[in-house]
Chains A and B, each alone.
Chain A
Amino acid sequence: DAKTTQPNSMESNEEEPVHLPCNHSTISGTDYIHWYRQLPSQGPEYVIHGLTSNVNNRMASLAIAEDRKSSTLILHRATLRDAAVYYCILRDDAGGTSYGKLTFGQGTILTVHP
Chain B
Amino acid sequence: GAGVSQTPSNKVTEKGKYVELRCDPISGHTALYWYRQSLGQGPEFLIYFQGTGAADDSGLPNDRFFAVRPEGSVSTLKIQRTERGDSAVYLCASSARTPSKDTQYFGPGTRLTVL
> Are both chains from one complex?
yes
Produce 1/0 per residue, B91-106, CB < 8 A to A.
Answer: 1010100111111111
CB neighbours of B59 from chain A (8 A): 101
A-B contact pairs, 30 of them (CB 8 A): A41-B108, A42-B106, A42-B108, A42-B109, A43-B93, A44-B43, A44-B93, A45-B105, A46-B103, A49-B103, A93-B100, A93-B101, A95-B98, A95-B101, A96-B100, A99-B99, A100-B48, A100-B95, A100-B101, A100-B104, A101-B33, A101-B48, A101-B59, A102-B33, A102-B35, A102-B104, A104-B35, A104-B44, A105-B42, A107-B42
Chain A, interface residues (CB within 8 Å), range: 20 to 34
Measured in the bound complex, the distance between the Cα atoms of B40 and A100 in whole Å is: 24
Nearest chain B CB to A22's CB is how many angstroms away?
13
B62 in contact (CB, < 8 A): no
B67 at interface (Cβ–Cβ under 8 A)? Answer: no
